[in-house]
Amino acid sequence: MQKPRWLASLHLDLVIAFLIAIVSTTLALAAWRGNMVSSSAADASRLGIINTIKKQASTNEDWRATYQEANYAENYAVYLAEVQALEASGDPAAVAQAANLRQYLLPNLQLPASPLASDPVYQNPDGTYNLSKRFDDLEAAAPDLSGLNPQASFQLAGRYYSEQRWLTVTMVLLAVSLFWLALAEIGGKRQRLLTLLIGGGVYGLGLVLLAVVEVLFFILRGGVL
């Protein structure tokens, strides 16, 4: 016994209606995910900027401290040379003056220049000081700030932005699919099956792309959603 034509038509209507509901839900999910990814990208970018400011502020302070010590250390070294010249002069008054300077003045000059002028690790063979090493040590002393890695945040933001681009393509495919399915719902009998197939095919393509994009970027981000 053959099915009546109206029943077949009713079945097709139901199939299309179900498909439209499924595609709409998928589109809503893709839009939600796209917004989530966009928000995560903005968060990562914001964190990158904040970390850049924190790190730069820490670096600025370390350079300031380095050059402050360097100024005191240079002043100390010049006074030390003066004292040594007085000692080498052979003049009794100058030698006595040098002894007092060495005992009372030089330690006070060395104090603000420490550890640059007092720790041998910062002494260069020619009597100058290794400012780069002092700066590196100051940076290392605050690893919570100098160890910040803004580039990692910017890279993460970049990956989120890439995913957002592909999710937009996916959403466009789903919207196109929805359009063809709507056309199938309202279209004439001859075109109905063709438009339904086109809509279903585009939806399948969009769904596969959505899955690939999600899995790929999930792996690229090291398992972070």
Query: Does 45 contact another protein by CB under 8 A?
Result: yes
- Three-state DSSP class for residue 63: helix
157 binds another protein (CB under 8 A): yes
CA distance 225 to 211: 13
154 in Cβ contact with 48 (< 8 Å): yes
Coil, helix or strand at residue 94: helix
Candidate ranges 21-29, 139-147, 164-172, 206-214; the one touching another protein (CB under 8 A): 164-172
225 lies in the binding site for another protein (CB under 8 A) = no
**Only segment of 107-115, 123-131, 138-146, 213-221 that touches another protein (CB under 8 A):** 123-131
Question: What span, in angstroms and rounded, lies between the C-alpha atoms of 211 and 8?
Answer: 33
Provide the 8-state DSSP code for 28.
H
95 touching another protein, by CB under 8 A: no
Question: How many Cα atoms sit within 13 Å of 68 on the Cβ side?
Answer: 11
**Min dist. Cβ of residue 53 to another protein (A):** 6
Site membership for another protein, residue 209 (CB under 8 A): no
DSSP 8-class letter at 112:
T
In the complex, minimum distance from the CB of residue 225 to another protein, in angstroms, rounded to a whole number: 19
Residue placing its CB nearer to another protein in the complex, 2 or 108: 2
| DSSP 3-state of 181 | helix
128 near another protein, rule: CB under 8 A: yes
Q: Smallest distance, Å, CB 223 to another protein?
A: 23
**Position among 12, 31, 155, 179 found at the interface with another protein (CB under 8 A):** 179
Nearer to another protein, 24 or 89 (CB): 89
Q: Which residue in the block uniquely carries the two structure tokens 């990562």?
A: 44
Taking the least distance from each CB to another protein, the nearer of 86 and 207 is: 86
Question: Is 129 in a helix, a strand, or coil?
Answer: strand
Residue 157: other Cβ atoms inside 10 A: 20
End-to-end Cα spacing for the chain: 54
Pick the stretch among 17-25, 120-128, 206-214, 216-224 that binds another protein (CB under 8 A).
120-128
Nearer to another protein, 25 or 39 (CB): 39
The token pair at 38 is: 């966009």
Q: Which is nearer to another protein, 180 or 223 (CB)?
A: 180
**Binds another protein by CB under 8 A, chosen from 17, 28, 49, 212:** 49
Nearer to another protein, 161 or 223 (CB): 161
**Cβ pair 149, 51 in contact under 8 A:** yes
